[in-house]
Structure 1
């Protein structure tokens, strides 16, 4: 085994489960994998046009529309709106703000919505948050507070209330906060889109007494359907409360997939009723295990936050993987399921799997190595692909190596530190993550096969004490890039604009109990743009 971890994911498989409730998916585990229905997979990054906003031509309004990788500015007059950004993270795909101002939020503000087992808890959660947060911005918005009546009610309308939380589910919403009325509206196709709209509303509220931006319409939808975080809970253990805090922050960032790398060669913390000895011999101890009740709690919490849980059960070595794939694929297909594998099963020459078994129409790949090159290899072969490039999306990189007694660190001053002893170094900054285009070098047809991406935190040198700061706000950078892109209306990268908004978003996350790390000194925040550079500094 390579102590630096280069092969730690090689040959291992995982799968997506549409629903983890009740605890029945483990009944279909064979060699440690579970699978989901291919009918829920949609390889399209941009939803159909019939529900896209068409706000062009409104007098005196700022209308911004983003479609795939091009963001089009359509404004008859920029008016006042240019000086008043919509401080929502991720940045919405489309908004109009004809007369920027704010109104008070009524102390008796309420939210009405259709009854739903997961939307209803979300409504209650956001209502409490909006009513009690009293958020204090880093820079107080210079927006006039008008004498209009306070906002009393948000009315939610959902057209497809029974839509399950599945890959490709419609997450679009339209949020309207009027200037001279006491009722705002949130219209969504599904409950999951309504949750995204509730998050946006919560970020428009600040101050004590609470006030809210008004006179605006936001129409929003994601660019990519798969936007996630992988967390390794095998090398170091994370308690259930840590996982719940992570999922809550993911939802706030409009991420929708928690890829739970539950087990690996270091430990097996998952309790399986059918194989009790795995956890007895494989866990770090009785207090470092996940019971069936723990897993159900995590999945229920995910559903209440619009986040799917993807469990990954590692397989010990290439031979076991080969046997599993070659012997079980026919059975898997008979169940009308689709497996998701790490790219190694077809790109690693040391793994001998019959290529005819892993047909593109019945298989999804996740890439982690060689950046855009391996993404290109997978999609050009016809595979739907999830991008987790270690060159850009591995959050553990740049912290050295975990091996002890390593003479590589005993060097004379002045030696070239290269990657600092980290196999995937250097550290992946939020700017690097934000600016990465996961469809780089692909044709339009190939790009359609990219389902989205995941940042990954492997835990050789991480545990609950550093969980928040290792992930946030770098995962926020990916969240915006995959939701609304990383370019402005002219096609230029918008990381300068993102810096100011991300500073504010970090502050809001911290106010919600997420210990995100800062990205700039406070001086930069209080002097917007003064820390920007237009020339590379390294």
Structure 2
């Protein structure tokens, strides 16, 4: 281990030791919910949760015809009962009999910017005692159920689930509408159950966009009915997703309040496309980026996006546009001649390709997200509805919003999960609105996203690489700015995050230790909450 890394790890472990003392001294005032709610007050009464906990909907206008709420409630009950056998007697104990859920709006279409706010109250007395959830939409109610689940613990004396510190009153809503996590199924194939497990884990910290970087130069694993040879570019016959698989993933996510953002990265990062259709390559010896001179290139893009529009219902599609090395275009005589015929330099052709792909996406009803190189090179030419995805570093978001465009923040020095050297506190302190003071420009920052690039991860280690660092970013994106912990509060914050990491472990999510780097192993034998 390098000396600097060893010193950093020693500091983190030392902070964890301080944390355990700080928590012991102030445990009564801590709100053990992640991410921290906008407002929360609590009392001193302990309730026990009925083994026949019921959900009612008195006063609700939501019919729950698709059983979204019913299924979510049952998942919540399963989670709180997962860790131990519940076989105690509740006779004579103050008992929480159920949860009444009131949803004011009847619809359950998961649109971008849908109201995700909720109120949760748990009284200390009553006959019977019912918790009360109130939300504008079912998706706010789903967040409330997750918060409720985090208030519950197993009581080793009564052998029942208990809810401490009643009465509770929590009001909550997200700071940003876009709170994303990227997964990459081109560098390593991820089986469908693994993707679903990632979606489940996202809901525990209220992330709401799964950015699915489906294809890249290494492999093309998804079926495209319009061009059925494209998935010849998959790693193997078995490492593929059918369109029905994609529909299943999207529906699974939407029922949990998570949108799925599909990405095809063009014109670079597309070598795998030509395995099935070699004409998409500029030449047999120069295979990337896609051939800008060929009409068939744009016909294929149109076919992909047409098929996507039947599956991926999120209002955005991601068209990449990053890291485009255009040298193939000038080194291939046929393409070079086309450039000359159209009076284009390489940079002009890059712009032409991106803008034409944007128009195709718009024709299928999508708004487009592009990586920041498109803005850096020709931002004034981009469609004005373009969302610029920042990744190269800081300072870009403020330039994007100053130009009147929307932005998503994922600067790689802080929010790239494959950068294992970036510890959780770096994720937490990364502020999307840094140096953006104008309120109108602040609204153009849709939110942020942590990126799990898959060059060095697969199904065996994805969860421990994502968590708990992604949770640190999740609180930054959900919790009101004034409620976020400051740098001098890292010790208490680390204790809260350690407890949330333990909760993830209890729920079967292989989250790594808080102390240490990404995907690190426990440093020594110890309690979960001290790691």
Provide the TM-score with structure 1 as the length reference: 0.70
Aligned to 1:128: 78
Out of 265, 276, 298, the residue aligned to residue 249 of structure 2 is: 298
Give the distance between the partners of 1:286 and 1:230, measured in 2 at CA.
Answer: 24
Give the distance between the partners of 1:153 and 1:199, measured in 2 at CA.
Answer: 15
For the pair 1:285 / 2:236, whether they are aligned, the reply is: yes
Aligned to 1:440: 434
Aligned to 1:366: 389
For the pair 1:327 / 2:346, whether they are aligned, the reply is: no
- Partner secondary structure for residue 255 of structure 1: coil
Give the distance between the partners of 1:202 and 1:279, measured in 2 at CA.
Answer: 41
Out of 458, 482, 496, the residue aligned to residue 453 of structure 2 is: 458
Alignment deviations for residues 324-347 of structure 1 (CA, whole Å, 9 cap, x no partner) = 443355565566542111111120
Give the distance between the partners of 2:115 and 2:246, measured in 1 at CA.
Answer: 26
Provide closer, same or farther for how the CA distance between residues 151 and 467 of structure 1 changes in structure 2, counting only shifts above 3 A.
same
Bigger Cα Rg: 2
Give the distance between the partners of 1:198 and 1:160, measured in 2 at CA.
Answer: 17
> What pairs up with 1:93-242 in 2 under 5 angstroms?
93-97=38-42, 99-113=43-57, 114-117=63-66, 118-134=68-84, 149-181=94-126, 182-207=129-154, 208-213=159-164, 214-242=166-194
Alignment deviations for residues 332-365 of structure 1 (CA, whole Å, 9 cap, x no partner) = 55665421111111203xxxx6834x243x2111
Provide closer, same or farther for how the CA distance between residues 506 and 347 of structure 1 changes in structure 2, counting only shifts above 3 A.
same
Give the distance between the partners of 1:116 and 1:484, measured in 2 at CA.
Answer: 31
Provide closer, same or farther for how the CA distance between residues 429 and 447 of structure 1 changes in structure 2, counting only shifts above 3 A.
same
Q: CA deviation at 1:493?
A: 5.4
Q: CA deviation at 1:465?
A: 1.1
Give the distance between the partners of 2:39 and 2:379, measured in 1 at CA.
Answer: 46
Q: CA deviation at 1:286?
A: 1.1
CA contact (8 A) 2:118 2:141 kept: yes
Provide closer, same or farther for how the CA distance between residues 296 and 526 of structure 1 changes in structure 2, counting only shifts above 3 A.
closer
Q: CA deviation at 1:135?
A: 9.6
Q: Tell me how large the CA RMSD over aligned residues is.
A: 2.8
Q: CA deviation at 1:109?
A: 1.1
Aligned to 1:89: 34
For the pair 1:396 / 2:418, whether they are aligned, the reply is: yes
Q: CA deviation at 1:312?
A: 0.4
Give the distance between the partners of 2:485 and 2:506, measured in 1 at CA.
Answer: 34
Provide closer, same or farther for how the CA distance between residues 395 and 146 of structure 1 changes in structure 2, counting only shifts above 3 A.
farther
Aligned to 1:428: 422
Aligned to 2:319: none
Q: CA deviation at 1:448?
A: 1.9
Alignment deviations for residues 199-237 of structure 1 (CA, whole Å, 9 cap, x no partner) = 001111111311113211111111111101011110111
Out of 361, 364, 368, the residue aligned to residue 339 of structure 1 is: 368
Alignment deviations for residues 410-467 of structure 1 (CA, whole Å, 9 cap, x no partner) = xxxxxxxxxxxxxxxxx11101000111111111332221111000011111111110
Alignment deviations for residues 89-116 of structure 1 (CA, whole Å, 9 cap, x no partner) = 111110122x222111111111124424
For the pair 1:275 / 2:227, whether they are aligned, the reply is: yes
Provide the TM-score with structure 2 as the length reference: 0.71
Give the distance between the partners of 2:266 and 2:487, measured in 1 at CA.
Answer: 43
Give the distance between the partners of 2:488 and 2:263, measured in 1 at CA.
Answer: 34
Count of residues in correspondence between the two structures: 405
Q: CA deviation at 1:129?
A: 2.4
Give the distance between the partners of 1:168 and 1:451, measured in 2 at CA.
Answer: 9
Which one has the bigger helix percentage?
A: 2
Provide closer, same or farther for how the CA distance between residues 331 and 367 of structure 1 changes in structure 2, counting only shifts above 3 A.
same
Which deviates more from structure 2 when the two are superposed, residues 225-234 or residues 111-120? Answer: 111-120
- Partner secondary structure for residue 125 of structure 1: helix
Which deviates more from structure 2 when the two are superposed, residues 328-337 or residues 378-387? Answer: 328-337
